[in-house]
């Protein structure tokens, strides 16, 4: 896939790329969560499970775990979501109806490493970051190339904090396109693109609605396992409208479309910023910034504004990796930047043909977004080469390892 389809253009480093691939088998992509402090309490209400998973999507594993424990999946929370391909160590929080120890879990490719009680419920985002151990599939020893690229990343004070391709759909990379159609009030087009995208779909049953407009006929042909597509078709048949059709989805799934479109716009803004300025650490007048911790997690309680009076100090703090410029995830309540950064943001919105207010989605407010910010560059923590073409590093929460790895390989990693 051409990365421009996800708003990404170019690289921040100029070193030669490695002729190789990642994720060629689970053992090549290992992820270990770095949780926030979870205090143990023998009398606590919750059980924390530290579980090692192989090739498990987080949400699917949660469903299997709930079934084994004979509880509702709403009684299980987790700190972070992970891709299916890889070996991941994750923390799950179980709200059991009693205090018993959890034993007898038998789920393929899942191992409980440890468990303990706590009074604190673990929530999504309760992470400092993730540790990665990545093997690059290539015959040559690329130690020199890896070191050269890493040295340039250090010199540049980071790599671009792009949203990786996973944000836009791991199989059909069109989630953001559907989000754009929803923001533009093009509900029929959005539903039809979800059901049939000619760029990715070849199955005849997917084409029926687009070619005939007959939702009843399409529903008869759709396989039973495609539950989301079938629920959309059922809604169209019942309500005789496409408007608000995505309300049949769980809220977390229905919001993915707008979030993916915001991520696409963010990638375009960041690509343009790098193109125009040549680096990611110089603070410009009109920028907004956050203080960051060791893992480059932003302190969202301290939004800073760069002005003529403080820009020299902010640039010094940026070079010391204590603050980072943040770019908007544009929503209906977003405060756009001023100066050059503000010009970039307005230019991208104009290119896209959308305005801030479009992200309100008044027909279904569950799917709207008021907006947010994301820092534009980050550094890996504790970066090491641990073997031939094997690298180990940690990243803050929400930072994509693939956005770092693409700088070493100089190619799309989808």
> Which residues have a catalytic role annotated?
83
Contact yes or no for 71/168 (Cβ under 8 A): no
The tokens for 101 are: 């120890």
- The DSSP code sequence of 292-309 is B-TT--B-TT--EE--TT
- What burial class does residue 399 get, using C-beta atoms within 10 Å of its C-beta: 0-12 exposed, 13-18 middle, 19+ buried? buried
Q: Which residues pair with 292 in a beta bridge?
A: 298
Pairing of strands 127-135, 372-375: unpaired
User: Residue 242 and residue 112: Cα distance in Å, rounded?
Assistant: 45
Query: Is the Cα torsion angle 398, 402, 403, 404 positive or negative in sign?
Result: positive
The tokens for 132 are: 């990665």
Local structure of 157: helix, strand or coil: coil
Contact yes or no for 117/43 (Cβ under 8 A): yes
DSSP 8-state secondary structure symbol assigned to residue 164 = P
Q: Which residues pair with 325 in a beta bridge?
A: 289
Least Cα distance to 300 among 398, 164, 367 occurs for 398
């Amino acid at each position: 896939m051409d990365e421009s389809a996800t708003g990404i253009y170019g690289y921040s480093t100029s070193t030669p790329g490695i002729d190789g691939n990642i994720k060629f088998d689970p053992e090549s992509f290992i992820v270990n969560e770095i949780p926030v402090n979870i205090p143990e309490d023998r009398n606590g209400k919750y059980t924390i499970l530290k579980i090692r998973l192989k090739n498990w999507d987080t949400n699917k594993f949660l469903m299997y775990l709930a079934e084994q424990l004979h509880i509702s999946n709403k009684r299980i929370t987790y700190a972070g979501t992970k891709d299916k391909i890889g070996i991941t160590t994750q923390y799950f929080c179980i709200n059991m109806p009693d205090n018993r120890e959890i034993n007898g879990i038998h789920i393929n490719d899942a191992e409980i490493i440890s468990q303990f009680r706590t009074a604190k419920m673990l929530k999504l985002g309760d992470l400092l970051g993730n540790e990665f151990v990545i093997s690059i599939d290539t015959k040559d020893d690329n130690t020199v190339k890896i070191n050269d690229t890493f040295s340039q990343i250090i010199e540049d004070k980071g790599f671009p904090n792009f949203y990786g391709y996973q944000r836009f759909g791991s199989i059909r990379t069109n989630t953001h396109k559907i989000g754009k159609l929803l923001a533009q009030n093009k509900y029929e087009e959005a539903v039809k693109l979800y059901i049939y995208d000619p760029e990715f779909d070849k199955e005849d049953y997917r084409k029926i609605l687009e070619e005939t407009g007959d939702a009843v006929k399409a529903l008869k042909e759709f396989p039973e396992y495609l539950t989301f597509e079938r629920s959309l078709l059922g809604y169209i048949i019942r309500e005789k409208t496409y408007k608000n059709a995505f309300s049949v989805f769980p809220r977390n799934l229905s919001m993915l479309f707008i979030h993916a479109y915001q991520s696409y716009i963010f990638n375009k803004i960041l690509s343009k910023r790098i193109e125009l300025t040549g680096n990611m650490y110089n603070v410009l007048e009109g920028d907004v910034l956050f203080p960051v911790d060791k893992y480059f997690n932003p302190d969202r309680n301290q939004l800073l504004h760069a002005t003529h009076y403080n820009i020299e100090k902010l640039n010094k703090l940026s070079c010391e990796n204590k603050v980072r410029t943040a770019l908007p995830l544009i929503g209906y309540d977003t405060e756009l930047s001023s100066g050059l950064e503000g010009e970039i943001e307005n230019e991208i919105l104009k290119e896209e043909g959308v305005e801030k207010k479009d992200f309100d989605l008044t027909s279904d407010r569950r799917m709207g977004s008021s907006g947010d910010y994301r820092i534009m560059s980050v550094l890996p923590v504790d970066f090491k080469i641990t073997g031939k073409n094997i690298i180990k590093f940690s990243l803050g929460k929400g930072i994509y390892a693939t956005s770092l790895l693409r700088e070493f390989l100089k190619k799309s990693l989808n």
